[in-house]
Structure 1
Amino acid sequence: MTTTITFDSGPGLRTALRVDGWSTGVFGVFLLATAPLLREPLGLPPAWSVPFGVGMLGGAAALLLIAGHPRLPSRLVAAVVAVNALSAVIMVELAVLDLIPLTNRGRAFMLAGAAFVAAFAVLEFAGLRRGQAAS
């Protein structure tokens, strides 16, 4: 039997989750809508940008569902933090390991995305810690 600890997060964590969810969704739509156009300036093949975009739409839906809970389940918030942190690490690796034929602009784009995702991981981790300490 497992239990899920829930807590009242206050507006900060919930807002971070919602902004993370909406920005992830918007960026997923951007990747899907511009997939063929990103190949030349960024070196991002549609075979990569389309699955990234679809994954981001799924992630956005999950984030918005989690943010909608009246009392946030700490395990789900911890999972969000872990996924964001892992995503940031993977994006850095993709930028520096030449797994994708990125241009210099593409590398900068990927590193900027990693910084953006890492910032959400930090904000959500801080909100999780505050919420758990208050419960």
Structure 2
Amino acid sequence: MAAVTATTAAPAKAEAKLLRFALKQDAIGSGANGLVYLAAAAVFGSMFGLPAAFLVPVGAFLVAFAGFLLYLASRPVVNRAAVITVMVVNVAWVIASAEVLIAGWFQLTGLGTALAIAQAVVVAGFTGLQFMGLRKA
């Protein structure tokens, strides 16, 4: 009986491989961006046309979000509801990026516009991988 349980548990863990990969990649990207925003908010703000007062809380959020993603990916069983929440946050990020561009909340530089677009595309990609991973797991 124990052999059957071990055998059935192994495929479930293997099937969560894509999901764990997607969560870890999201964590690396989010954490790296967050740390850069925190460390160089004034410099990046002027490069991108974003106020440092905006980048600092966004950076803090991204660092905390990255920690949560790593925690989630490291669990023996990945919590589906938590992954769905992550995906909702990611979709909100993509929508907010588009809104920043469309509404003109900030006077973005060309580099700032490129950053907003690139981040939206990358986050959408992470979300797609997470969705596929969730379906397989």
What TM-score results when the alignment is normalised by the length of structure 2? 0.85
Cα shift readout 1:92-133 (whole Å, capped 9, x = no counterpart): 1112211122122211111111111110011001111111xx
Question: Which runs of 5 or more residues in structure 1 are unaligned?
Answer: 1-6
For residue 32 of structure 1, the aligned residue among 34, 38, 54 is: 38
Report the RMSD for the aligned CA atoms in angstroms.
1.3
For residue 83 of structure 2, the aligned residue among 45, 56, 77 is 77
Of 99, 103, 107, 1:97 maps to 103
Partners of 2:46 and 2:37 in 1: CA distance: 14
SS in 2 for 1:72: coil
Give 1:22's match in structure 2, choosing from 15, 25, 28. 28
1:96–1:107 contact (8 Å) kept in structure 2: no
- Aligned mates of 1:95, 1:50 — CA distance in 2: 20
Query: Which structure's residues are more often helix, by fraction?
Result: 2
**Contact kept in structure 1, 2:16 and 2:134, CA below 8 Å:** no
The 1-side partners of 2:45 and 2:16 are apart by 42
Percent sequence identity is 33
Mind listing any 5+ residue stretches in structure 2 that lack a counterpart? 1-11
Q: TM-score, normalised by structure 1?
A: 0.86
Q: Distance in 1 between matches of 2:90 and 2:45?
A: 25
Larger Rg: 2
Is 2:17–2:133's contact at 8 Å kept on the other side of the alignment?
no
In the TM superposition, residue 85 of structure 1 has moved relative to its aligned partner by 1.1
